[in-house]
Amino acid sequence: MKRILFPLLSLLCLAASAQHQLEKLWSTDTIVATPESVLPDLKKGILYVSLIDGGPWDADGKGGVAKLSIDGKKYDGNWVTGLNAPKGLGMYGNRLYAADISDVVVIDITTGKIEKKIAVPEASGLNDITVTDKGVVFVSDTRTSRVWRIENDNPVLFLDNMSGANGLKAIGNDLYILSGKNFVKADAQKNVSKVVDLDQPGDGLEPIGNGDFIATSWSGYVYYVQSDGKIETLLDTHADKKNTADIGYDPVKKIVYVPTFNAKTVVAYQLK
């Protein structure tokens, strides 16, 4: 009995200690002009990529949105041009939303044309975007520590005093927020509760299911956050000066798409 028991215990210990991993699938060449956000459109087999292509907060008209094939082989860096420093992307129906310093830019996905710009009051650092299943848009303003709610193209302040507000993800009636190192959740009544503290200020945020998330830190870290608060470091590229900004995620194939910002690539990883 003891001979059987000890191997079983060893296997259980190994399973308990095993952590998730990212296995690199592909990378683009260094042709992506300061990519900040990747948003998969799985039905079309396209990755939308926000391009800053200049100073991260400069209203210089150099920015845009690119289209990249889901396998990373075909790249169109001129799909949408004339933006400033676009960051977070969100999609609902035929609309693509881009956070662009002080405006949320609405893009017609069919034509690639700018439909309108929604000015957000006193905004100076719009960063991430998430859209609910009813088409309500939330956008963070990192510089003013605010989160805005946009319904019918009308922006209304949702949360204030959210220091370093960045990554957002709407799930049901809840809004998950990366606010500096704080990973928190806000309900529809604006009650904020703590999820966990990250080691580095958060940037991108994607749900994996069962209450688990992947979160990134711009400086070069990708974390797996379990529902019980345990944090695993999936990727550390800070020493190589490869940023990990606002990731995209394919929940069917479990592929994570990482925009590397100053490294000027988009990299795909298999989550295991």
pLDDT one-digit tens code per residue, 224-246? 999 999 999 999 999 999 999 99
Mean pLDDT of 145-164: 98
Is the predicted pLDDT of residue 197 greater than 50, yes or no? yes
Whether 3 is in a domain gets the answer no
For residues 171-191, average pLDDT: 97
* CATH number of domain containing 52: 2.120.10.30
Residue 7 covered by a domain: no
13 occurs within a structural domain: no
Pairing state between β 95-100 and 103-108: antiparallel
Query: Is the pTM higher than 0.75?
Result: yes
Q: Do residues 168 and 175 touch, judged by C-beta distance below 8 A?
A: yes
Res. 28 pLDDT band, cuts 50 70 90: very high
pLDDT at 7: 47
Among 166, 168, 243, CA closest to 206: 168
Name the residue type at position 88. G
Whole-number pLDDT of residue 255: 98
- pLDDT of residue 80 exceeding 80: yes
pLDDT at 17 over 60: no
Amino acid at 50: S
- Model confidence at 70, in pLDDT bands (50, 70, 90)? very high
Residue 98 covered by a domain: yes
Residues 6+ apart with CB under 8 A from 146: 123, 140, 157, 158, 159, 160, 162, 165
- Phi, psi of 9, deg, nearest 5: -65, -40
How many alpha carbons fall within 13 Å on the CB side of residue 245? Answer: 27
Dump the DSSP string for 211-224.
Answer: TEEEEEETTTEEEE
- pLDDT bracket for residue 18 (50, 70, 90): low
Asked if the model's pLDDT at residue 1 lies above 50, the reply is no
Contact between 42 and 255 under an 8 Å Cβ cutoff? The reply is: no
Give the long-range contacts of residues 169-178, CB within 8 A, separation 24 or more.
Answer: 169/130, 169/205, 169/206, 169/207, 169/213, 170/130, 170/131, 170/132, 170/136, 170/138, 171/207, 175/130, 175/138, 175/147, 176/205, 176/207, 176/213, 177/140, 177/147, 178/128, 178/202, 178/203, 178/205, 178/215
Sign of CA dihedral 54, 39, 181, 145: positive
48 beta partners: 39, 67
Separation CA 245–CA 222 (nearest Å): 9
Residue 8: inside a domain: no
Q: Where are the alpha helices (DSSP H) in the chain?
A: 2-17
**What is residue 54's predicted lDDT score, i.e. its pLDDT?**
94
In a domain, 172, yes or no: yes
First vs last Cα of the chain: how many Å apart?
Answer: 34
What does the mean pLDDT of the chain come to?
A: 94
Domain of 193, in residue numbers:
20-271
71 in a domain, yes or no? yes
CA–CA–CA angle 51, 135, 268 (5° rounding): 40
Position 3 scores a pLDDT of 52
pLDDT digits (tens, 9 = 90+) for 127-143: 999 999 999 999 999 99
Q: Percent of the chain scored above 70 by pLDDT?
A: 93
pLDDT at residue 179 greater than cutoff 80: yes
Report the number of distinct structural domains present in the chain. Answer: 1
The answer to whether residue 12 is domain-embedded is no
CB 257 within 8 A of CB 249: yes
